[in-house]
A and B are shown apart, each in its own frame.
Chain A
Amino acid sequence: MKLDSLIPAPLRKPAKPGEGNGASGPAPADLKSSPPERPSDAKRLTDRAVEAPVDVLAWVDQRTAASGFLTGMLYRKVPKGTNWFYTLGSATLIAFVSQAITGVFLAMFYTPSTTQAYASIAHINNDVFLGALVHGMHKWGSSVMVILVFLHMGRTFFFGAYKYPRELNWVIGVVLLILTMTMAFTGYLLPFDQRSFWASVVGININGTGPVVGPYLSDFLRAGPELGATTLSRFYAIHMLLVPGAIIALIGAHLYLVVKLGTTAPPWLKAEKPKAATPASQLNAGAEGNGATPAS
């Protein structure tokens, strides 16, 4: 059986122009001279079973009209030369999803209180089933995400993918970079051990060196003149409520623009000349690839 038949018709890859989609298939045979055989019950049941998920999807599609968007997104054109570097953005997204999932489960055991935070982390690491693993995934995953964000940014920069008309996506990406750093910074304090305490002290003081607004920014982050009890709950709220919401919204905008505008070809590929612009006499029949005019 062709795998294609399992995909509901609206989700199937649209046929190329001119090939047709079988809507006007072969004419039906004469039903009187050769009536079709009645299929067995078992066959009809399996057919129904195969059809069921398709029917469900079709039911949803009739009410959401999502298939047009999905086919447009899933079967969008990508340029020639698309390579592994183009997966860095998806890798960053996966890292974020991993952080979100592990973070939700860590929040089930964590206590954002100055007197209990360290003990609750120790409890996660030492007592909770697979707690050390989930905590470790979250801890090391944050570094992975920061590294991937920078690699993704480097790819975009060196491939020139920030240029017109994708400048806005670059700007959104910069905001996402800042938010990612905010996540890394606020998350660092949460275990509330000596290392995270002093790292946060130093980090807040670096924020404070900004002229005029710096001192007030420090007071805002600490919720007072000294790092205190409310600093931890404040960092916790920023870390798990404020910034993740902003990141999710901006990732949505980021992906929308990626799908809307398409990706760029790598810079080493020359632009393909429109066929009409090349006179037939100059077309090199044997040449492969991008249709560049042969050197003469």
Chain B
Amino acid sequence: MSDETDKQNGAEATARPQPDPPGYFEGESMTRRRAFTVAVQGLGGIAGAAIVLPAVGFAVAPIFHRGKERWEGVGPVGDFVEDTYRQVVFTETEGIGDAGKTTAYVRKGSKLFDEDPKAFIAVSNRCVHLGCPVRFVEAAGNFICPCHGGVYDFQGKRIGGPPVRPLDQFQTRIRDGQVELGPRFSVTSQLEPVRARDPGEFTGGIWEYLYPPRPSTFPPPSG
């Protein structure tokens, strides 16, 4: 209606600016209603994030937290020989009683496998298929898993069954004539040390990217 009147009276008669597009006045990029809508929604989003983000961060923080390095003596140097393993039990996770204990098979380094004869090899009994406990069978010289038939040779390399890599190992050192076991590390099929992986995860080559190392694990021993 007003448009027609404008035409009749001439443009000079109505200097009052008409909103274009409707609802907007000159110089406005958004209407008052829209500005408030955006502002309230933005404030609501900030308030929601202020509640949710700390809670989520709290829940996922353990992924990025690495515990204190822990070493435990498992016996005098003389207890361990080159040609067989000795079973030792030590605490890997503190504060949960017996559930935090784990078993390792320890021997002296052997020239047979190009190992440092002064070093000690500590093989974890955790099957790298799904985490069942393996047992060293003296007569066969193999590690055998009772759950799904995984078999490893004397060095811990997989020779049968579903496991995906050789058995994990623990770092070793000698303090005051005692063999001490430290953080866990995993090995590739060539027994090169890498950061600890969970059972079921391949190591080496492209698998180092498909199963990336977790920040909660310790760097592998060098060399």
List chain A positions with a Cβ less than 8 A from chain B. 114-115, 192, 197-198, 201-202, 204-206, 208-209, 211-212, 214-216, 218-220, 222-230
Given A205-B130, A224-B65; A215-B99 close (CB under 8 Å): no
Q: Which of B121-176 contact A (CB under 8 A)?
A: 130-132, 147
Residues of B within 8 Å of A214, CB to CB, are 198, 201, 211
Pairs across A and B, CB under 8 Å, 19 listed: A192-B99, A202-B132, A208-B198, A209-B200, A215-B212, A215-B213, A216-B63, A218-B198, A218-B214, A219-B62, A219-B63, A220-B59, A220-B62, A224-B67, A224-B216, A225-B196, A225-B216, A226-B93, A227-B93
Residues of B within 8 Å of A206, CB to CB, are 130, 200
User: Would B130 and A215 count as touching, CB distance under 8 A?
Assistant: no
Residues of B within 8 Å of A220, CB to CB, are 59-60, 62-63
Distance in angstroms from A145 CB to nearest chain B CB is: 25
Residues of A within 8 Å of B92, CB to CB, are 226
CA distance A293 to B95 in the complex (A): 77
User: Would A225 and B217 count as touching, CB distance under 8 A?
Assistant: yes
Additional pairs, 4, CB under 8 Å, beyond known A202-B132, A212-B209, A215-B212: A115-B96, A201-B131, A209-B201, A215-B201
Residues of A within 8 Å of B209, CB to CB, are 212
Residues of B within 8 Å of A228, CB to CB, are 93, 95-96, 100
Q: In the complex, what residue of chain B is closest to A216 when comparing beta carbons?
A: B63
Q: Does B205 contact A (CB under 8 A)?
A: no
Q: In the complex, what residue of chain A is closest to B210 when comparing beta carbons?
A: A211
User: Would B131 and A205 count as touching, CB distance under 8 A?
Assistant: yes
User: Would B99 and A227 count as touching, CB distance under 8 A?
Assistant: yes
Given A215-B197, A225-B196; A202-B130 close (CB under 8 Å): yes
Interface-central residue, B96, B196, B209, by most chain A CB under 10 Å:
B96
Distance in angstroms from A230 CB to nearest chain B CB is: 7
CA distance A206 to B96 in the complex (A): 23
CA distance A234 to B114 in the complex (A): 45
Residues of B within 8 Å of A209, CB to CB, are 200-201
Q: Does B48 contact A (CB under 8 A)?
A: no
User: Would B96 and A208 count as touching, CB distance under 8 A?
Assistant: no
Interface residues on B, range: 20 to 34
Q: Which of B93-111 contact A (CB under 8 A)?
A: 93, 95-97, 99-100
Q: Looking at chain A's contact residues, is the secondary structure mostly helix, strand, loop, or mixed?
A: helix
Q: In the complex, what residue of chain A is closest to B95 when comparing beta carbons?
A: A229
Residues of B within 8 Å of A218, CB to CB, are 198, 214
CA distance A115 to B210 in the complex (A): 36
User: Would B96 and A114 count as touching, CB distance under 8 A?
Assistant: yes
List chain B positions with a Cβ less than 8 A from chain A. 59-60, 62-63, 65-67, 92-93, 95-97, 99-100, 130-132, 147, 196-201, 209-214, 216-217
Residues of A within 8 Å of B197, CB to CB, are 215
Out of A115, A198, A205, A230, name the residue touching B198 (CB < 8 Å). Answer: A205
Q: In the complex, what residue of chain A is closest to B218 when comparing beta carbons?
A: A225
CA distance A172 to B200 in the complex (A): 31
Interface-central residue, A197, A202, A212, by most chain B CB under 10 Å:
A202
Distance in angstroms from B189 CB to nearest chain A CB is: 17
Q: In the complex, what residue of chain A is closest to B215 when comparing beta carbons?
A: A219
Residues of B within 8 Å of A115, CB to CB, are 96-97
When A and B form their complex, which 7 residue pairs have the shortest distance between CB atoms, in order from nearest?
A209-B200, A114-B96, A223-B62, A208-B198, A225-B216, A211-B210, A219-B63
Interface-central residue, A205, A214, A227, by most chain B CB under 10 Å:
A205
User: Would A202 and B99 count as touching, CB distance under 8 A?
Assistant: no
Distance in angstroms from B167 CB to nearest chain A CB is: 14
CA distance A229 to B196 in the complex (A): 20
User: Would B216 and A219 count as touching, CB distance under 8 A?
Assistant: yes
Q: In the complex, what residue of chain A is closest to B213 when comparing beta carbons?
A: A215
Residues of A within 8 Å of B99, CB to CB, are 114, 192, 197, 227
User: Would B211 and A215 count as touching, CB distance under 8 A?
Assistant: yes
Q: In the complex, what residue of chain A is closest to B209 when comparing beta carbons?
A: A212
CA distance A225 to B92 in the complex (A): 11
User: Would B100 and A208 count as touching, CB distance under 8 A?
Assistant: no
CA distance A198 to B129 in the complex (A): 13
User: Would B97 and A211 count as touching, CB distance under 8 A?
Assistant: no
Residues of A within 8 Å of B216, CB to CB, are 219, 224-225
CA distance A245 to B130 in the complex (A): 31
